Chain A
Amino acid sequence: MGKICHLYLTRDHVYFLHNLLNGDGIQCIAQFRKEALFDEYRLSSQNDDRISFAIDLSLLHRALHSIISIYTEFSAGDSGVPGGNSAPNHIQIKLVKKLPPHSQQPMPFLTFETKGYKSAVIQDVPISKPLSRSDVLELQAALDMAQDLPQTLIQVPHMHQLQNFVEKMKNVGDVLNVSISKYGDLHLQVSTSLITLGAEFRKLSVIGDQAQSPTDDQNLSAQSRTRIALQRGDAMTVQVSVKHFFKSLQCHAAKPDCAFYGITQQGACLTVVFQFFIPGTHQTDKAISLHCRLPVLDPGAS
């Protein structure tokens, strides 16, 4: 999505937020209930126990990656020792201010402390200054705004195949028309002065508002079917950037169990909601949620 994101901590949740404050790109919201990530969680701030700061995800990823490797080595080395594993396999994460080398000014860091038998590894990931009270309020407002879900959501089939297809579509045009109907039809189309290229997926699972597809539309073209559904008020259509759409499909890398696309009211944005199941079940894991909002392009601009 991007390198920098906001980490937003509240009493009960931890959020990773992309592009919520500068609203022109694709927005991405990952929400974790505190129990999903932490055994113990203490937070206090003068701003109603809310803290937010910007963090470089590649540095965070590096720190976490090295911690995983430390623990992998640790547990491998530990397995042969009689008496079992007495060292707890956990990390302590703290927000600290430290004086970096060659500097007079203390800087904020997110510190990861990993303990082994005889050693401890401390990694400091630099972060921005905590957001001001007004910025946190603005972030919270943007987050509240971003929570409204489309009335109709349809399940995307074969994410991987769709990703391949859209990747090749990128070569043909920049603007993607996305139409979603209550019948469970998803219609993607790139149209330029030289070419129109589209794909239609039908009879997908629908969550929310749905309708029975008309029986007489079987022999119609994808374009005609979409046009009629739009006229009946059974479908919505928006224009988004092909690149944004492709990026939203890349969230597939987070290994969601399924993905749903929908258009919010008045066609304000295209939303994709990823669903994660509790391992071994088909029940949604409510402790984790991930969704993206793709900005809608001004039809005049394209």
Chain B
Amino acid sequence: MSSSAVEPESPDLVCQLDNVQGVVDALTSVRWKRQQDAVLELSEHGIVLIVEETACLQAKVYLQRELFVRYEYSAEGRPRFGVSLGLFVDCLNTFSVQGHSSAIELRYPGPDMQLLLKSVESSDSCTYAEIRTRIPDTISWDYNFEPAGSSPLSFTVKKQLLGFRTVVSYFDKFVSDPGHLQKLSTNPRVVLRSSGFLPIFSLKFVQKGGKGKERGFEEEESCIRCLPLESAALKEAIDDLEWPGSSIHLILQPTPPSVTFRGEGHGDLQIDFMCQANTDLLVAFHCDREVSHRYKYKFLRATTSNIPSSVIRDNRGSKLTIGRGGMLKVQHLVSVAKPAIPHPHVDSASYQQPSRIAYIEFFVKPEVDEDDANDT
């Protein structure tokens, strides 16, 4: 609200933001369902927003103080309060359409412990909001992420990884040849694998034998070369894994260095990211032993499916790390740079403001399985 309301003499936090859309994008990335409670934690370093799902998935958005044009913090300790994430995002979103500029001020607490927002710029028009806060629930599960062993197990996905959709469209053509299909089966199981130094995909149709017995008949049908394409590979790969659904095996192995996502359900789908020199598949890869864990598909999907397309286009890469006990950490970066006039020779204006990045982290617990703990 506004200046005249009875406000505490010195609020815990008064900050100003000049790119609301960037923050809306960052928060939208962790909005995996309609009704979601979020906890906001304020500190001298910035604002952290935390959301959680059934003690299996947690996401954090770090809005560090460098993202704000003004950041006045005067609380002792770290104030925490709960808000409805959906309402907070919808509310911020109304500020991002206010004409050309969208600078806003955030203030906490208001007279009734509200989170106060108001547009700052024009004198003849003003937008304001008061969001009711609540006492946060205790975080039900401690997501302390610890490295698994002395050396890290991680990989970073960058753009130009692979256009899996393209492969699938080749695959569609392949499958649409009915004569071909009839030779195989009316209901073939399909395995897609990539191999080699470049993402070369081989398609394998695995026909199930009659009476529910697998005959183990494999027929190498075709080999399709696919050039690396610009795409948000991780998101696409995870989207594609929806087909088999249920739980997904994530396997990292050092020789040959590769990352494999394998889904088994209605059909089998395996996606291999091969990491070799001279390819842009993975920007970084650290793995000294084979690890394999299973994650629920819906949680894996939540880590990528809500990232706005503008952020995907910006493509700052995503880093996945497996920690102790198979806890998966997925990190994304979202630009919160002040919108600049697009320049044809500059890839993204935000590269000039490296500090203006919002960090997003997801923590996914693995599915408990007796065969699973083979990284110890």
Chain A interface (Cβ < 8 Å from any Cβ of B): 157-158, 161, 164-165, 168-169, 171-172, 193-203, 219-224
Cβ–Cβ contact B87 & A194, under 8 A: yes
Q: A residues within 8 A CB of B126?
A: 199-200, 222
Partner of A195, one of B5, B87, B98, B99: B87
| A201 contact from B5, B91, B125, Cβ within 8 A | B125
Residues of B within 8 A of A199 (CB): 125-128
> Which of B4, B84, B131 counts the most A-chain CB atoms under 10 A from its CB?
B4
4 additional contacts (CB under 8 A) given A165-B94, A197-B129: A194-B131, A197-B128, A221-B3, A222-B126
- Report B-chain residues with C-beta under 8 Å of the C-beta of A161: 97-99
Q: Which of A168, A193, A195 has the most CB of B within 10 A?
A: A195
User: What DSSP secondary structure best describes chain A's contact surface?
Assistant: mixed
B125 contacts A172, C-beta separation under 8 Å: no
Report 18 cross-chain contacts, Cβ distance below 8 Å, ordered by A residue: A157-B125, A161-B99, A164-B97, A165-B98, A168-B90, A193-B132, A195-B87, A195-B132, A198-B129, A199-B125, A200-B125, A201-B124, A220-B3, A221-B5, A221-B128, A222-B128, A223-B1, A224-B5
Tell me the complex Cα distance, A157–B125, Å: 10
Taken together as a complex, chains A and B put the C-alpha atoms of A169 and B126 apart, in Å, by: 15
B5 engages A197 (CB within 8 Å): no
Q: Establish whether residues B3 and A165, one from each chain, have CB atoms under 8 Å apart when the complex forms.
A: no
Specify which chain A residues have a CB less than 8 angstroms from the CB of B4 in the assembled complex.
Answer: 219-221, 224
Complex CA–CA separation, A28 to B84 (angstroms): 37
Within 8 A of A (CB), among B346-371: none
Number of interface residues of B (CB under 8 A): 24
0 or 1 for each of B102-137: is its CB under 8 Å from A? (1 = yes): 000000000000000000000111111111100000
Does the CB pair B2–A223 fall under 8 Å? yes
A-B contact count (CB 8 A): 78
With beta carbons under 8 angstroms apart, the residue of B98, B123, B129 that contacts A196 is B129
A219 touches B3 (CB 8 A): yes
Let me know if B231 is at the binding interface, CB within 8 A: no
B125 nearest CB neighbor, chain A only: A201
Q: How far is the CA of A195 from the CA of B208 in the complex (A)?
A: 57
B93 interface residue, CB < 8 Å from A? yes
User: When A198-B127, A219-B4, A220-B4 are in contact, do A169 and B99 touch as well, CB less than 8 Å?
Assistant: no
| Docked complex Cα distance between A198 and B117 (Å) | 10
CA distance A202 to B3 in the complex (A): 16
Distance, CA A267 to CA B104, complexed state (A):
33
Q: Are B93 and A168 in contact (CB under 8 A)?
A: yes
Provide the residues of chain B in CB contact with A223, threshold 8 Å: 1-2, 5
Shortest Cβ-Cβ A-B pairs, 8 listed:
A221-B2, A171-B90, A221-B4, A168-B94, A164-B97, A197-B129, A196-B130, A199-B127
A158 touches B99 (CB 8 A): yes
When distances are taken between beta carbons in the complex, the residues of chain B under 8 Å from A194 are: 84, 87, 131-132
Q: How far is the CB of A262 from chain B (nearest CB, A)?
A: 19
Q: How far is the CB of A161 from chain B (nearest CB, A)?
A: 6
- Are the CB atoms of B2 and A222 closer together than 8 Å? yes
Task: State which of B91, B97, B124 has its C-beta within 8 Å of the C-beta of A197.
Answer: B91
- In the complex, A195 Cα to B94 Cα: how many Å? 13
Contact A172 B1, CB 8 Å, known A161-B97, A165-B94? no
B5 — nearest CB in chain A belongs to which residue?
A221
- In the assembled complex, the Cα of A271 lies from the Cα of B131 at a distance in Å of 30
- Is B94 touching A221 in the complex (CB atoms < 8 A)? no
